[in-house]
Structure 1
Amino acid sequence: MTLLATLTRPQKAAAILVAMGKPSASRLLKFFKQDELKALIEGARLLRTIPQADLERIVAEFEAEFTEGAGLLDSADKMDTILNESLSPEEMNALMGKDEPAAKKDTTPPVWPQLEKLEPAQIGTFLSNEHPQTAAMILSNLAPTYAASVVLTLDKPQRSEIIKRMMELASVPQAATKLVEDQIRTRVLAESAQKDTSVGQTRVASVLNELDKSQLEEVMNDLREVGMADLDAIRARLFSFDDVPVMSQKARVALFDGLSSELITLALRGTALPLAEAVLSSIGARTRRMIESELSQGSEGVQPAEILRARKTIASTALRMANEGLLELPSAQNAA
């Protein structure tokens, strides 16, 4: 017995609705009676992949035209999507004979703040594989600053199309919003939780950043010998005051612009000329003269521990600013 012969009339009707697509099917659903809609849903639940040839025969039976090349996969899921976007939750409950559930508080954590904790490039990759309308809806729910960072990771044609749709975006049905949120939890957040080791890398780097250069290299060599993974990623999160010369001029200016002259003076005491010049060339002429005058008087009475503390404060500030996207630290290769 062929697949076509086993299909009921409601299943054939459901197949045609799914093949028509959501816009057309949604308009037609308004003309069905409750018992007819219920029969369609029950039929769609049991519907599986239908070969193209059988689908054309179904269309011929209904004496309707069908766009060449339309396929049919996951019919039940697509029918659910059409119904959820066409009918209110109350209508769906009435249709399926369900009693109206007592309102209860949704304890699921909001998806959008969790999404904003991920790297913008990761979200950009996810959106590049989605329909522009879906991408527009997702970006519209993110904080503007974060959304802008994501937009910059997209290809220009795709970026323009998504922004255009964001401008034209109307109110999104609650059912559609929930479908998107569920997909984000399943395909983005859950996957990131399994793969993302950046939190652990940052934790290790924060400890290693407290070591001086000789201690740091000793520990890194020990970790390399025991075969610890992600050492390059950890090194990329390391930064010390001695790494200032390999920073870009733009990054150095951003770093030292917000630091006090007293802190910079203290950190520069006893430094080699290249390091001192890298710092002094990043500050204003007047401040530079003041610091040079202080340094020329020597370091008598200044405790080495105070100097080390000042240097670690500057390194910590650089790391914090890098995490906030305010400056770019040198790569691990340049800093090594």
Structure 2
Amino acid sequence: GVHPVGGIEQSRPFRELGLELEKLEPARLGAFLAGEHPQTAAMVLSKLAPQVAANVLLTLTKPMRGEIIKRMVTMANVPDAAARIVENRLRASVLAETSTKDTSAGQARVASVLNELDKPLLEEVMQDLEAAGTPDLDGVRARLFAFDDLPLLTQKARVLLFDGLSTELVTLALRGTSAALAESVLSAIGARSRRMIEAELGQGSDGVPLADITAARKTIVTTTIRLSREGAFELPSTQDAA
């Protein structure tokens, strides 16, 4: 049979190639990319949905993962001509000549991938990247945000954030959190909503699916990142979290 990656018609736009690749098992795509130049792998991963890219990165060895993420950080938007070259699997070094030096797109892309990882794994990957001397790491760090970081937001930012979220969502997200984290959220919410949420939480969380709680927390994180991108407030740098 045809190798699934090599078998993709090369004339299709690169975006469609990304959609095809997303259907593969992460391990299979990881194995394919492990044999490619890290620059090629970085280009391919930057075309995938963040969750998919994160899963693929987890199948690679730590050194390989570091090399690829390092390149994703500094990659500007990829020119079409370069995308076609990669599609034809020619040398990826051609990219270096055509990409511009604006790396904010690369930083945002990497942050969106890293935001999919669990906190302990995220810390580990960030340490690896630091050890590998990844450029522009502060730019990535400034775009990272986890649910546990909510207390690090200013009170004003929290008020703004929770003003737009339903009490149901907030209640769900707060199930099983620490008292300190819950307080940092509840202190940013109006008295009436706060009483409702506390009453709900007081009844315990038995029978509430963990997947629902995780999804609610993710929604809050996504909203926080979106508001910060829109300039509503700054994200706390994860350096302050140490």
Which category of TM-score, normalised to the shorter sequence, fits these structures? 0.5 to 0.7
Deviation per CA, 1:24-48, whole angstroms, max 9, x where unpaired?
Answer: xxxxxxxxxxxxxxxxxxxxxxxxx
Q: Any idea what the Cα deviations from partners look like across 1:259-286, whole Å, max 9, x if unmatched?
A: 0001000000000011000000000000
Which residue does 2:191 correspond to in 1? 285
Aligned with 2:130: secondary structure?
Answer: helix
What is the rounded CA distance, in whole Å, between the counterparts of 2:122 and 2:133 in structure 1? 17
- Whether 1:202 and 2:118 are equivalent positions in the alignment is no
Q: Which residue is 2:221 aligned to?
A: 315
Q: Does the alignment pair 1:234 with 2:140?
A: yes
The 8 Å contact of residues 251 and 329 in structure 1, kept in 2 or not, is answered as no
TM-superposed deviation, 1:194: 3.2
> Map of 1:265-276 to 2, 5 A cutoff?
265-276=171-182
Q: Which has the larger radius of gyration?
A: 1
Q: Which residue of 1 aligns with 2:205?
A: 299
Instruction: Please provide the CA RMSD for this pair.
Output: 1.3
The one-letter amino acid of 1:327's match is F
Q: Report which structure shows greater RCO (CA 8 Å, sep ≥6).
A: 2
After superposition, the C-alpha distances for 1:142-189 in whole angstroms (9 at most, x for unaligned) are xxxxxxxxxxxxxxxxxxxxxxxxxxxxxxxxxxxxxxxxxxxxxxxx
SS at match of 1:194: coil
Q: 1:260 maps to which residue?
A: 166
Distance 1:253 1:328 in 2: 14
Which whole-Å CA distance do the structure 2 matches of 1:223 and 1:328 have between them?
23
Separation in 1, partners of 2:186, 2:236:
19
User: Normalization by structure 1: what TM-score?
Assistant: 0.42
Q: Secondary structure at the match of 1:259?
A: coil
Amino acid across the alignment from 2:184: A
Which position in structure 2 is the counterpart of 1:243? 149
After TM superposition, which residue ranges in structure 1, 4 or more long, deviate above 3 angstroms?
A: none
Residue matched to 2:121? 215
1:115-126 equivalences under 5 Å are: none
Instruction: Give the aligned residue type for 1:260.
Output: S
- Is this contact kept in 1: 2:227–2:233, CA < 8 A? yes
Does the alignment pair 1:327 with 2:237?
A: no
1:328: Cα distance to partner? 2.2
Q: Tell me if the contact between 1:240 and 1:315 (Cα under 8 Å) persists in the aligned partners.
A: yes
Q: Distance in 2 between matches of 1:330 and 1:224?
A: 19
**Alpha-carbon distance, 1:326 to partner:** 1.7
The share of aligned pairs that are identical, in percent, is 67
Three-state SS of the structure 1 residue aligned to 2:100 is helix
Q: For structure 2, which runs of at least 5 residues remain unmatched after alignment?
A: 1-98
Q: Corresponding residue for 1:146?
A: none
TM-score of the superposition, structure 2-length normalised? 0.57
Task: Measure, in 1, the Cα distance between the counterparts of 2:183 and 2:143.
Answer: 24
